[in-house]
A and B are shown apart, each in its own frame.
Chain A
Amino acid sequence: MALSYLRSSSSRSANLLRPLSSAASLRRPISTDTTPITIETSVPFTSHQCEAPSRSVETNPSELLTFFRDMALMRRMEIAADSLYKAKLIRGFCHLYDGQEAVAVGMEAAITKKDCIITAYRDHCTFVGRGGTLLEVFAELMGRQAGCSKGKGGSMHFYKKDSNFYGGHGIVGAQVPLGCGLAFAQKYSKDESVTFALYGDGAANQGQLFEALNISALWDLPAILVCENNHYGMGTAEWRAAKSPAYYKRGDYVPGLKVDGMDALAVKQACKFAKEHALKNGPIILEMDTYRYHGHSMSDPGSTYRTRDEISGVRQERDPIERVRKLILSHDLATEKELKDIEKEVRKEVDDAIAQAKESPMPEPSELFSNVYAKGLGAESFGADRKELRATLA
């Protein structure tokens, strides 16, 4: 029987009629169905200096479908960015997140927009998870006015302060002390929220991380350090860069949890656990065992330091979207066609956003001099030829 899955852009109501399944009740529309389902994570959590949470995760059809849709959107967005980069519409650095979507999506499911997230330069999907739009992403990547940073930042400098997303940082490791600072401010303001500071296995060896962790532990800051371990720091495999690649243990006196980062539900459970912990006991480290299909950046083919077999192996065994698809299908929460339709919709959304972003103009030349300061005090600034181009900063 043909099913139609109608979805308007503003609401997520669906119109579904299905014959009775083996569950002896009429199935409610899946997109709003919040009937709890309990699912076991792929692997149990491994813990350091703490008791691991249960691997039984509570979810519901609505959440699983949201996971599917959001991850499909992120995947499609990153693949499209790859094409735009090769078409030279995106310049400079472009670090893609495809493969790692479950971390962004699982984290959002466990927290609120009052909690803060800060990450490094592989930030497109994290930004979207915080509520950023596709138009803002593509326009920023192409350096246009409609970009989230009005074209002034580029791929590595996405921010969304109103959703407590603090970027978007190009210097490896710098975002970790900054994230601990966000947690400091949250504790100072007593607002019962936490900060997730994301970093990679490469950044995990940075000294400033340990300096910030030491202070966070001393001052009981609600800081959650999340190591997105995709096993390669640029072109260097983790075993060549870290004497101890057990990143969840590197906090020593700070508890840690190792999580299957390709399992959105495991990520959600871990983040929920971490938030509770951080609010009571201070910092905790989460190591997300994840994988990136692309190279480090668009300048890196990603195949000189790892085999194509490894990449395709992960794609086959552990892909986060495929895992959720299988879950949805095996629990009879949607049909294959419905899921394919979602993927088609998402593809169209991405294409539309790209078309719209291409229409957005480049910044006005006067924008060269804007936002140097929040308060310019009438100071002067200069172009390359200061007698030709100068401006007064407002």
Chain B
Amino acid sequence: MLGVVRKKMLGQSLLKIRPAVSMLRSYSSAAKQMTVRDALNSALDEEMSADQKVFLMGEEVGEYQGAYKISKGLLEKYGPERVLDTPITEAGFAGIAVGAAYHGLKPVVEFMTFNFSMQAIDHIINSAAKSNYMSAGQMSVPIVFRGPNGAAAGVGAQHSQCYAAWYASCPGLKVLTPYSSEDARGLLKAAIRDPDPVVFLENELLYGESFSVSDEVLDSSFCLPIGKAKIERVGRDVTITAFSKMVGHALKAAEILEKDGIDAEVINLRSIRPLDRSTINASVRKTNRLITVEEGFPQHGVGAEICASVVEESFAYLDAPVERIAGADVPMPYAANLERLAVPQVEDIVRAVKRACYRSVPLAAAA
């Protein structure tokens, strides 16, 4: 999508994204800008329009138009039977949603943030993720749990945790982490159509960011495959894996590194479970160096899994130890300077890449 020449849009003006499909439309390479928020909203709208069984449930999703306005306009369009405002009782409404999925409906459950999903985690894991297995295929659970994940800005320890590693460790769940608007649209549509429980981890700070989207992405049939990563930037010297907001950081780091003659390949994971191990390993076999980047706590994190996978599958190809950049191993502090130290910054990624390329100042010996 980057670097495409923008053409003027002919014909219909697309002031507001509508789920209209023109079968005669050819996909021009003209790029339109779309925020992640609008991408999610349009995906929800289109999937609710296409399948009567899809409904949305969560706190403030209806009359308030969504705590982050992701569900704006949906109550008006689909009515209170399909867009349901819940009380602030995550365990109760998540369980109700899973029960509805047992009976064949397709719920989309919004957690105002994934920190609150911990109140409902028994239903996500024990009632949803494991049911198809325990019932030998009788009880599939076509549910999506979505909402903002990870750090926002200044919201403190209880509102800033990243749950990617926790949910992605559980067999039976699929865990998706969109970055761009294209990711948001394609992955949310795929998640809603998928017959298995999907944990869909958004990022509050990305909601307002705009990305170019092609006509193909805007089409209501657009869908991205679950389990496939995207190479956002092709490179030769080092592989950087990232997901969600960190993809943006990794791309900025790559621009900085380019000036130093280091050509970084940036992989946008898109899917934490299933993890696209083959794309990651193929990339490392090409570059011979790996940096994993994530926002969440470092111990037992997503990066740990990626590093282990690469060491197992591509050991002979590594020219340097694998490196992990992650959130600090502390609860998220409030003070702005401490918060900055607790979340990966672009310079952290740059520094780690240089280490992996043996280009950095030698580290001080550890005590």
Complex Cα gap A374–B86 (Å): 29
Query: Do the beta carbons of A182 and B99 come within 8 Å of each other?
Result: yes
Query: Do the beta carbons of A188 and B81 come within 8 Å of each other?
Result: yes
Query: Do the beta carbons of A185 and B104 come within 8 Å of each other?
Result: yes
Query: Do the beta carbons of B87 and A211 come within 8 Å of each other?
Result: yes
Instruction: Pick the interface stretch among B120-128, B180-188, B203-211, B288-296.
Output: B120-128
> Which residues of B (124-145) have their CB < 8 Å from a CB of A?
126-127, 131-140, 142
- Nearest-Cβ distance from residue A206 to partner chain B, whole angstroms: 9
Residue of B127, B195, B312 most packed against chain A (CB within 10 A)? B127
Report if A174-B122 is in contact (Cβ < 8 Å); known contacts: A375-B194, A381-B171.
Answer: yes
Residue of B87, B89, B101 most packed against chain A (CB within 10 A)? B89
Verify if A19 is at the interface (C-beta below 8 Å from B).
no
Complex Cα gap A20–B104 (Å): 54
Number of contacting residues on A, CB 8 A?
54
Chain B residues lying within 8 Å of A116, measured Cβ to Cβ, are: 103
Instruction: Pick the interface stretch among A5-13, A146-154, A323-331.
Output: A146-154
Complex Cα gap A215–B274 (Å): 34
Q: B166-192 toward A: CB 8 Å interface, digit per residue (1/0)? A: 000001101000000000000000000
Chain B residues lying within 8 Å of A150, measured Cβ to Cβ, are: 136
Query: Do the beta carbons of A179 and B99 come within 8 Å of each other?
Result: yes
Query: Do the beta carbons of B86 and A184 come within 8 Å of each other?
Result: no
Find B97's partner among A181, A208, A371, A386 (CB 8 Å cutoff).
A181
Chain A residues lying within 8 Å of B91, measured Cβ to Cβ, are: 177, 207-208, 211
Verify if A241 is at the interface (C-beta below 8 Å from B).
no
Complex Cα gap A176–B96 (Å): 8
- Nearest-Cβ distance from residue A215 to partner chain B, whole angstroms: 6
Query: Do the beta carbons of B103 and A177 come within 8 Å of each other?
Result: no
Report if A214-B227 is in contact (Cβ < 8 Å); known contacts: A157-B135, A178-B127, A372-B133.
Answer: no
- Nearest-Cβ distance from residue B79 to partner chain A, whole angstroms: 12
Chain B residues lying within 8 Å of A188, measured Cβ to Cβ, are: 55, 81, 100, 105
Chain B residues lying within 8 Å of A177, measured Cβ to Cβ, are: 91-96, 98-99, 123
Query: Do the beta carbons of A152 and B89 come within 8 Å of each other?
Result: no
Residue of A152, A169, A373 most packed against chain B (CB within 10 A)? A373
Complex Cα gap A116–B139 (Å): 14
Report if A373-B96 is in contact (Cβ < 8 Å); known contacts: A178-B102, A181-B101, A207-B91.
Answer: no
Contact residues on B (Cβ < 8 Å of other chain), bracket: 35 or more
Verify if B252 is at the interface (C-beta below 8 Å from A).
no
Q: A372-385 toward B: CB 8 Å interface, digit per residue (1/0)? A: 11110111110000
Complex Cα gap A381–B81 (Å): 39
Residue of B94, B103, B137, B225 most packed against chain A (CB within 10 A)? B103
> Which residues of B (215-274) have their CB < 8 Å from a CB of A?
225-227, 273-274
Complex Cα gap A207–B92 (Å): 8
Chain B residues lying within 8 Å of A207, measured Cβ to Cβ, are: 91
Query: Do the beta carbons of A149 and B196 come within 8 Å of each other?
Result: no
Verify if B277 is at the interface (C-beta below 8 Å from A).
yes
Chain B residues lying within 8 Å of A180, measured Cβ to Cβ, are: 92, 95-96, 99
Verify if A171 is at the interface (C-beta below 8 Å from B).
yes
Verify if A251 is at the interface (C-beta below 8 Å from B).
no
Report if A208-B95 is in contact (Cβ < 8 Å); known contacts: A371-B132, A373-B172.
Answer: yes
Query: Do the beta carbons of A211 and B137 come within 8 Å of each other?
Result: no
Find A373's partner among B87, B94, B103, B174 (CB 8 Å cutoff).
B174
Verify if A170 is at the interface (C-beta below 8 Å from B).
yes
Chain B residues lying within 8 Å of A110, measured Cβ to Cβ, are: none
Query: Do the beta carbons of B126 and A174 come within 8 Å of each other?
Result: yes
Verify if A212 is at the interface (C-beta below 8 Å from B).
yes
- Nearest-Cβ distance from residue B60 to partner chain A, whole angstroms: 15
Complex Cα gap A378–B278 (Å): 12
Query: Do the beta carbons of A176 and B196 come within 8 Å of each other?
Result: no
Query: Do the beta carbons of A218 and B136 come within 8 Å of each other?
Result: no
Find B99's partner among A152, A171, A185, A378 (CB 8 Å cutoff).
A185
- Nearest-Cβ distance from residue A238 to partner chain B, whole angstroms: 23
Q: Give the nearest-CB partner of B139 in chain A.
A: A159
Chain A residues lying within 8 Å of B172, measured Cβ to Cβ, are: 372-373
- Nearest-Cβ distance from residue A57 to partner chain B, whole angstroms: 30
Complex Cα gap A210–B84 (Å): 19
Chain B residues lying within 8 Å of A166, measured Cβ to Cβ, are: 99, 102-103, 139
Complex Cα gap A215–B97 (Å): 11
Complex Cα gap A185–B138 (Å): 17
Verify if A240 is at the interface (C-beta below 8 Å from B).
no
Query: Do the beta carbons of B95 and A182 come within 8 Å of each other?
Result: no
Query: Do the beta carbons of A171 and B122 come within 8 Å of each other?
Result: yes
Q: B306-331 toward A: CB 8 Å interface, digit per residue (1/0)? A: 00000010000000000000000000
A-B contact pairs, 5 of them (CB 8 A): A181-B100, A211-B87, A211-B93, A373-B132, A373-B172
Identify the B interface with A (CB < 8 A). Answer: 55, 81, 84, 86-87, 89, 91-105, 122-123, 126-127, 131-140, 142, 171-172, 174, 194-196, 225-227, 273-274, 277, 312
- Listed from nearest, the 5 A-B pairs whose CB atoms lie closest are A181-B99, A177-B95, A211-B92, A379-B274, A185-B103
Given A167-B131, A381-B171, 20 more contacts at CB 8 Å? A152-B136, A161-B135, A161-B138, A171-B122, A177-B99, A178-B127, A180-B92, A181-B98, A181-B102, A182-B99, A185-B99, A185-B100, A188-B105, A212-B92, A212-B96, A214-B89, A372-B171, A374-B140, A377-B274, A379-B274
